[in-house]
Amino acid sequence: MRMKLTLPDKSIRELPEGSSGYDLAKDIGAGLAKAAIALSVDGKQQDLNDAILEDCSVSVITIESQDGLEIMRHTLAAQVLARALKNLYPDSKLAIGPTIDKGFYYDIECSKTISIDDLEKIEKEMHKIVQSKSSITKKLLSKSDALNVFKSLGESYKQEIINDSEQKNDFQLYYQDNDEFVDLCKGPHLPNLSFIGAFKLTKVSGAYWKGNSNNKMLTRIYGTAWNTEKELNEYLHELEEAEKRDHRKLGKEMDLFHFQDEAPGMVFWHSDGWTIYRNLRNFVRLKLQESGYIEVNTPQVIDRKLWEASGHWDKYRENMFITEIDEEHANEKRVNALKPMNCPGHVQIYNQGIKSYKDLPLKYAEFGLCHRYERSGTMHGLMRVRAFTQDDGHIFCTNNQIESETGLFIEFLSNLYSDLGFKEFDIKLSTRPEMRVGSDEVWDKAEAALESAIKNLGYPYRIDEGDGAFYGPKLDFVLTDAIGREWQCGTFQLDFNLAERLDAQYVGEDGNKHYPVMIHRAVLGSFERFIGILIENYAGKLPFWLAPKQVVVASIVSDVNDYADEITSMLKKQGIRAEVDLRNEKIGYKVREHSFKKVPFIFAIGKNEKTDRTVSIRKIGSTDTSSMSLDEGINYICSHNKV
RNA sequence: GCUCAUAUAGCUCAGCGGUAGAGCACUUGCUUGGUAAGUAAGAGGUCACCGGUUCAAGUCCGGUUAUGAGCUCCA
């Protein structure tokens, strides 16, 4: 019997029934047979030597393809790294070893703690294994046979995986030539280890078994792997470049902010950092005003009663900072919480006076400083802090206004991102989480409303099941930065619960009272985090309008100090953040120093400039200078000073 | 919160049982120099904090706090 195999180009090739992927590749050409490592049958990957059973569409996966690269990484993890670990630490137990973006990891339980210094030794062992160029073969075992194999090896995690599996038969066990090493794996794997490319182990850390923090912590070893040494080096170079952009490093170098032990997770903003913050806030404030928001401000410290009513006390008590007044001086016994969110405060403002349907949509905005007690291991520079300011806003509206408000918000957000230099963003629709308030009917309604709004508006989106807020479904906005990293910033969260909980109502056209829909929304998220993202996106070289110091006027000889002063005050009069540098240093020294601080423009002023009343302008990132008259120079600078 | 690592001068780091070091930055001389480091001298430290081992502790061992890489979490 022969079977018909449809290739990706739609051509059909006939082979005897039971032929393998390798047979097919060989039939097509010797070159392909050499590069082939696995097979995709009707979209499902299988090992190259597995039999093809019936008519189907197939494509041969080669080592050069993206799929091939991932299979190589997988084999490297599950066969090479795992075997190396078993060789070096025989009493360790294997857990799992999947591929991840650009690499792989393997989790093991190990009585000896493995540290970063051990990676070299493990890598050496891996190279030894790769050099054997062993073939990889597999056996298919029944559930009980597979269990027995791993029982005899003492591999309890593998047994657990088998036990938890709904599968009855055909558990795949992979072996290498002349070795007792065996791993349970869904495959596929490389046919042999000669396909392994360039790799490097990168880090070691702990990870919970099955990702559950109640489970035992295992040792996780991370690595990266590529087909060639060149690609590996390019990737390592990219990592180094990303490290140079680290906002914590640049923040120190540029003197923007610091942290200290007495206030973990809370920013000490230095003058230049605070200037960035203020510029960003002014920019957002202006945009909000243009879009019909009204800015409000609500208290920092609020009685727990309000948090109980809003539901926060129940759900997030452990992440709230609580304050009590010193008993000796207190004449009232109150437990207060520092606000972790602005929404209950906004409802209090809404609740002053009676609202009519004619007042809706009512859009409150607040640059509200919130405190959340983040657990100690979660903080990260400006990106994850305990005190942060949101560009927060709450839209009180009717059901009928949800769609138009969704559209207006996305447009608003997309303009803001674009002005800040982020041209691309993705939208994620997150649905009801396990821990939530509100009835299922309300959730049905909220999810349907949001999905239909975004569908009707025609924006592409993907769904993230169970990632919604505890009070409602949400849209999240993920932007892509200059080096391709993704940051979730904007959010748009429907809430059919809070208005009712806090008794916010409006009088409808029918004269009856109704609960408005509340939409929690933010574009930047938190200023702290967003400034971190901006610093990394621009590698410190912020757009002119955001730069804390925009121009430094540097004198070359002290005879021209008066002229340098004059230029500086002219720039300042035009609203430019200019500084003068009259120090007794060479111009090269000054240029170097201000370049490190990422000042966008340096004016180098010498005798020629003073005599001719000109300026010599040096733009950051270029070694060219341009000379122009003083007036032209000032106009040139001012022309940069807009968003 | 968990695992592992780290904490020495303003910054970046060396020192790892026996009198605390370097480069840069800082101060003061000299130097007026044309676009990414002129030059010399000086000052600067309870080696994160608390306890233990030792004749002797930045150095070894506990603990605490903070930071880093991950995990978990993120209204």
Which nucleotide is the nearest neighbour of A623, by CA and C1'? Answer: B35
Strand B and A584 CB separated by under 7 Å: yes
pLDDT > 70 fraction of chain A, expressed in percent and rounded: 100
- How is residue A27 written in tokens? 């039939």
| Element at A7 (helix H, strand E) | none
Q: What is the pLDDT of residue A547?
A: 97
Strand partners, A38: A47, A61
Whether the pLDDT of residue A6 is over 80: the answer is yes
The contacts of residue A160 (CB under 8 Å, 6+ apart) are: none
Q: Which of residues 31-50 of A touch strand B (CB under 7 A)?
A: none
Q: Is A550 left (phi over 0), alpha (psi -120 to 50) or beta?
A: alpha
Confidence of residue A117 (pLDDT cuts 50, 70, 90): confident
Burial class (CB in 10 A: 0-12, 13-18, 19+), A599: buried
Q: What is the pLDDT of residue A54?
A: 87
Average pLDDT in chain A: 93
What is the spatial distance, in angstroms and rounded to an integer, between the CA atom of A589 and the C1' atom of B39?
A: 14
Neighbours of A440 (CB within 10 A): 9
Whether the pLDDT of residue A302 is over 90: the answer is yes
Strand B and A252 CB separated by under 7 Å: yes
CB A288 within 8 A of CB A295: yes
Q: Is A257 left (phi over 0), alpha (psi -120 to 50) or beta?
A: beta
Provide mean pLDDT across the span A166-189. 88
Q: Which of residues 421-460 of A touch strand B (CB under 7 A)?
A: 433
Q: Which of residues 167-206 of A touch strand B (CB under 7 A)?
A: 203-206
Q: What is the pLDDT of residue A520?
A: 96
A509, amino acid identity: E
Strand partners, A174: A138, A183
What is the spatial distance, in angstroms and rounded to an integer, between the CA atom of A593 and the C1' atom of B20?
A: 31
Provide mean pLDDT across the span A524-548. 97
pLDDT digits (tens, 9 = 90+) for A309-364: 998 998 899 999 998 877 777 677 788 999 999 999 999 999 999 999 999 999 99
- How is residue A546 written in tokens? 């955001």
Angle at A50 between CA A48 and CA A54, to 5 degrees: 115
What is the spatial distance, in angstroms and rounded to an integer, between the CA atom of A109 and the C1' atom of B54?
A: 37
Q: What is the pLDDT of residue A334?
A: 85
Phi, psi of A331, rounded to the nearest 5 degrees? -105, 5
Q: Report which residue is nearest nucleotide B37 when distances run from CA to C1'.
A: A589
Q: Which of residues 305-364 of A touch strand B (CB under 7 A)?
A: 312, 315-316, 319-320, 340-341
Dist. CA A187–CA A189, nearest whole Å: 5
The per-residue DSSP string of A211-250 comes to: G-TTSPEEEEEEEEEESSHHHHHHHHHHHHHHHHT-HHHH
Strand B and A586 CB separated by under 7 Å: yes
Confidence of residue A527 (pLDDT cuts 50, 70, 90): very high
Q: Report which residue is nearest nucleotide B70 when distances run from CA to C1'.
A: A205
In this structure, of A214-218, A295-299, A544-548, the range with the lowest mean pLDDT score is: A214-218
Confidence of residue A443 (pLDDT cuts 50, 70, 90): confident
Provide mean pLDDT across the span A112-136. 91
pLDDT > 90 fraction of chain A, expressed in percent and rounded: 81
- How is residue A316 written in tokens? 């997030």
Residue positions counted in chain A: 643
Strand B and A469 CB separated by under 7 Å: yes
CA distances to A97, A117, A118, A578 from A114, in Å? 17, 8, 6, 53
What is the spatial distance, in angstroms and rounded to an integer, between the CA atom of A543 and the C1' atom of B13?
A: 33
What is the spatial distance, in angstroms and rounded to an integer, between the CA atom of A488 and the C1' atom of B35?
A: 41
Which nucleotide is the nearest neighbour of A606, by CA and C1'? Answer: B34
Strand partners, A217: A208
Neighbours of A99 (CB within 10 A): 19
Strand B and A625 CB separated by under 7 Å: yes
CB A342 within 8 A of CB A307: no
Strand B and A622 CB separated by under 7 Å: no
Strands (DSSP E) contained in A465-516 are 474-480, 486-495, 506-507, 513-514
What is the spatial distance, in angstroms and rounded to an integer, between the CA atom of A166 and the C1' atom of B3?
A: 31
Q: What is the pLDDT of residue A115?
A: 85
Q: What is the pLDDT of residue A113?
A: 86
Whether the pLDDT of residue A104 is over 80: the answer is yes
Provide mean pLDDT across the span A69-81. 95
pLDDT digits (tens, 9 = 90+) for A241-278: 999 999 999 999 999 999 999 999 999 999 999 999 99
Nearest CA among A20, A536, A442, A44 for reference residue A241: A536
Confidence of residue A292 (pLDDT cuts 50, 70, 90): very high
The one-character DSSP state at A515 is P
Provide mean pLDDT across the span A114-128. 91
CB A594 within 8 A of CB A568: no
pLDDT digits (tens, 9 = 90+) for A363-417: 999 999 999 999 999 999 999 999 999 999 999 999 889 989 999 999 999 999 9
Q: What is the pLDDT of residue A325?
A: 79
CB A173 within 8 A of CB A182: yes
ipTM reported for the complex, 2 dp: 0.95
Q: What is the pLDDT of residue A191?
A: 94
Beta sheet of A322-324, edge-to-edge order = A301-303, A335-338, A322-324
Dist. CA A393–CA A298, nearest whole Å: 12
Strand B and A261 CB separated by under 7 Å: yes
Q: What is the pLDDT of residue A269?
A: 96
Dist. CA A282–CA A536, nearest whole Å: 21
Strand B and A505 CB separated by under 7 Å: no
CB A69 within 8 A of CB A100: no
What is the spatial distance, in angstroms and rounded to an integer, between the CA atom of A380 and the C1' atom of B68?
A: 9
Q: What is the pLDDT of residue A112?
A: 85
Dist. CA A297–CA A285, nearest whole Å: 13
Confidence of residue A449 (pLDDT cuts 50, 70, 90): confident
Which nucleotide is the nearest neighbour of A604, by CA and C1'? Answer: B35
CB A613 within 8 A of CB A631: no
Q: What is the pLDDT of residue A116?
A: 86
Question: Which residues of A are annotated as catalytic?
Answer: 343, 372, 390, 392, 394, 474, 520
Q: What is the pLDDT of residue A453?
A: 86
Whether the pLDDT of residue A196 is over 80: the answer is yes
Strand B and A607 CB separated by under 7 Å: yes
Q: What is the pLDDT of residue A543?
A: 97
Q: Report which residue is nearest nucleotide B33 when distances run from CA to C1'.
A: A586
- Residue written as token pair 């109704």: A514
